[in-house]
Structure 1
Amino acid sequence: MMRLKWIAATLFACVTAMALPAQAEIKINEVTSPGGITAWLVEDHSIPFTALELRFRGGTSLDAPGKRGAIYLMAGLLEEGSGAMRAQEYTRALEQLAASFSYDADRDSLSISARFLSENREAAVALLRQTLQEPRFDQDALDRVRAQVLGGLRSDLKDPNKIAAQAFAGMAYGDHPYGSSGKGTIATVSELTRQDIFAAHEAVFARDRLFVSAVGDITPAELGGLLDSLLGDLAAEGAPLAGPAEVAISGGVSIVDYDTPQSVALFGHIGIERDDPRFFAAYIMNQILGGGSFDSRLMEEVREKRGLTYGVYSYLVPQDLAAIYMGQLGSANGKMAEAVSVIQGEWQRLASEGVSDKELTDAKTYLTGAYPLRFDGNGRIASILVGMQMDELPMDYVQTRNDKINAVTLEEINQVASEVLLPEELHFVVVGRPEGLSASQ
């Protein structure tokens, strides 16, 4: 067993170091199993290792009424035993196979990432199948994981960033599942029963919302057999997906009183959908306004010129059920009012004046140069491929994405800036005790 652990650790490290270095080298094939399950595959036989990514659309938004947090808690319980194996036996079996399974649930999807050696593929897939289709959800495991979730929720109540996120979501989405934390609340999680967890499992795991990718040492024929063995017995349909969310937040400032020397703020308004023809122009525009680099306008005006924050960012959030345009920063209580004013001014200036040709050129250079760096391991590539499927992007997107960035003109980006940026609708949720800043809502 120790030898297998050493081999796994060595290979997992090598996968990152030997990942496909440029997007042009990634050849994606669509594989359909004999049972009709479709997956995207990138073969790489240089290392006897495979990364498998499963994603089920719906995520924590599928929680039943009054059962908020059930799907998140269920995801945390998937590694706590299955079939005849209780939690400790399950963990030992996974270690003996030198395999890795991880689970994550967000508002739009539940993700499962599996990593295994080629020599152990059959046994690893059998264990993963047992995990998905024969979960135990033992009461002692439920109580233990529930306690961990409740501890996190209590911690969130003292975290200004979490407080801001929850306040903003509630204002933006109201009673829609997006308007509350997918982790649930202390009250709802405390009341969840073992039967609720089984119901959450049934709601999520179905073939009508399944997306799959694989990267590594596996052929199309081998993947086809794996898909049917692993997923062929899943239910055809799961619980109905939640409907679209209306972004109802309007312009203004909300203040959540919290005793801290530094306030934090989330700000935003309605955004742009991922399939909107203007998305790439909006994406570049955001890079100029408040994307992750130190050259953005917000970083220059708020941090570099005025020293009001260590960092300020904006980002597009094109979710499955609503699109929003957001940003965030932290600032000393005595500086937050000025920081808010500067952000409002930059939002307005870009909307009315647009960007310069140099800003556009620099943003394109950054975005196209950074893109290949995302493909830094088989696991990352598998995750990207599943995301592409969920966004209904074509398989050649990896090759054409930078061309789409470079094709955006100055006229297009300035037109989008005038349409997507809504200075009058920009709402700030500030958590702290900012001086000289008044709530307008």
Structure 2
Amino acid sequence: MGGALVIGAPRSGSGKSTLTLALLAAFRRRGLAVAAAKSGPDYIDPAFHAAACGHPSPNLDSWAMPPALLDAVAAEARRARPLLLIESAMGLFDGAGPEPGRQGSAADLAARFGLPVLLLLDVSGQSQSAAAIARGFATHRAGVRVGGVVLNRVASERHRRGAAEAIAEAGLPVLGALPREAAVTLPERHLGLVQARELGELPALLERLADLAEARLDLGAILALAATAAPPPASAAPHPPLPPPGQRIALAEDDAFSFLYPHVLAGWRRAGAEIECFSPLADQPPPEACDACWLPGGYPELHAGRLAAAGRFLEGLRRFSRTRPVHGECGGYMVLGQGLEDAAGRRHAMAGLLGHATSFAARRMNLGYREARLLADGPLGAAGTRLRGHEFHYARLTEPGGDAPLAELADAAGAPLGHGGGRRGPVSGSFFHAIATQEP
């Protein structure tokens, strides 16, 4: 059985990730070829999805992706496996920007692609009142169809029955109820969940989640709901979301550098680029045969001492940058600077290829969509190119340095945010994570 559905909730912290992983693990246990995707910008949840279903999990972002790219990524996700589960970011209707249908919400995806919504409600501290929330979500936006409800954090059978009966009277089927169970809580850190690659106990956790789904969810009814989705749109492959920075790209990839969107990597490969991965934490330099180097975001602040001591990596990166472009996003940008101060206030020398320095000691969250206009030719594109993406980091600039700025930034509403990032010769970087070049 195939199809697709959106797993939504009223807010963050409702348990969407736990429900999504439980469904993926249970369906895979039953022998179903299931895939997952995440609405909006997020690196960490998709890595858990991939571990649960054995297939890469793309992001679907109606604000940052031009419509043709959004359609192509969604169509490819549904072609790859017959069953697709899309985990919502934040609340189902939460987004940004003024343009209807291009606000980055999971509701945009449900409406655009004709997908039913499985609504997860945290009913702790309430019972029959949950029906009012369910009714509101079901009627809030034309074109968004809530097809079923799952209750979360249920305290007792009496609690479950009170909420479920009221929701059923509102005309919505309740397709399962999850108890308050600390054993299935996923560990977190400052940018969200701890990375899937760092959890050695993840396979056992997925088995427990599959057991939970089998016992507490009506998996047959959820599959039947997914089968009511509209067929995927026919879509030709668009231009690459980002131009490949080179023909053969040296890509940093390990626990410190892991934040690269699957659709970007797929776009580079579709354009003919070759990817060679290397590990700065293993003190590996960028491969000499490559003609561009890309340092993605991740958690360099957790590994600053090891990176500072990685002499072969740092010297190899400096040597590479003398003749070829090097670009760093967020964590990669931090490593390109003069120094990185860790959470304990210890400063560690970094590559010194750009003039700034960053600190994780006095943390301040920066979060939001960004539109960037490039101020010079570089790895992200030609001068004047518009890109959309986001920032999500707690580190801050302690020394701005004197490098030329990389881009002019604005928020999702178009409000100017000034210049961002830096560039010096063939080296560039910023806290901005690029999702896609925009149509002219």
Give TM class, smaller chain.
Answer: under 0.3
Structure in which a larger fraction of residues adopt helix: 1
Kindly indicate whether structure 1 or structure 2 has the higher relative contact order, using CA contacts under 8 Å at least 6 residues apart.
1
Structure with greater strand percent: 2
Larger Rg: 1
